């Protein structure tokens, strides 16, 4: 019995001393044209969080540029998949945090709190899809200009996210992947 106890203590001390695996910094896209990025986006998938309704049948994000230079944000969760009955509608502002690339934003829905909105993947040719996260990889959204995303594209995005050490097992699909 003592041997088992000693071995358990020894094993536990080895496990406790192992350094935590440090992930490389999350990278963002090289450049975002904010005028092309504005408009309506459909949430295809996300990491569940405390501030979004969990049972929404459709979720959208709409961005526009305010004359004063910041980005107007409207996030809407709908009770129905057609987008007729609003469950939750939230308005906010986004501010460019990296003026060289425009790929890192700070989003504010409630003053004085701001969250990171990092565009980590983007369809650079036609701005038809985007993947947004934050430096800690705690939050994630897969966005599309259409409410449906092709299955091959979705799988490709998952592969690219895994290469960025994003835990794709946490993703919940909320839109349509076909």
Q: What does the mean pLDDT of the chain come to?
A: 90
pTM across the whole model: 0.86
The pLDDT, as a whole number, for residue 7 is 42
pLDDT digits (tens, 9 = 90+) for 110-143: 888 899 999 999 999 999 999 999 999 999 999 9
Q: Is the pLDDT of residue 5 over 70?
A: no
Which token pair is 79?
């009770």
pLDDT digits (tens, 9 = 90+) for 53-102: 888 899 999 999 999 999 999 999 999 999 899 999 999 999 999 999 99
**Which of the four pLDDT bands, split at 50, 70 and 90, describes residue 6?**
very low
Give the chain's domains with CATH numbers. Answer: 27-177 (2.40.128.20)
CB atoms within 10 A of CB 90: 14
Q: Tokens 């906010």 label which residue?
A: 92
CB atoms within 10 A of CB 139: 18
Cα–Cα dist 76/78, whole Å: 6
Is the Cβ–Cβ distance between 76 and 62 less than 8 Å?
A: yes
pLDDT digits (tens, 9 = 90+) for 24-37: 999 999 999 999 99
């Amino acid at each position: 019995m003592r041997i088992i106890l000693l071995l358990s203590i020894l094993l536990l001390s080895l496990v406790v001393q192992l350094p935590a695996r440090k992930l490389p910094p999350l990278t963002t896209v090289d450049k975002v044209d904010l005028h092309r990025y504005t408009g309506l986006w459909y949430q295809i998938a996300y990491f569940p969080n405390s501030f979004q309704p969990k049972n929404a049948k459709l979720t959208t994000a709409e961005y526009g540029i305010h004359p004063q230079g910041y980005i107007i944000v409207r996030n809407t969760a709908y009770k129905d998949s057609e987008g007729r009955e609003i469950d939750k509608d939230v308005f906010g502002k986004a501010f460019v945090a990296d003026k060289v690339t425009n790929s890192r934003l700070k989003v504010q829905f409630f003053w004085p709190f701001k969250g990171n909105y990092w565009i980590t993947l983007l369809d650079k040719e036609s701005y038809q899809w985007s993947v947004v996260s934050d430096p800690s990889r705690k939050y994630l959204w897969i966005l599309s200009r259409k409410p449906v995303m092709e299955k091959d594209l979705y799988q490709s995005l998952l592969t690219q996210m895994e290469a960025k050490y994003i835990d794709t097992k946490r993703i919940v699909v909320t839109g349509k992947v076909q």
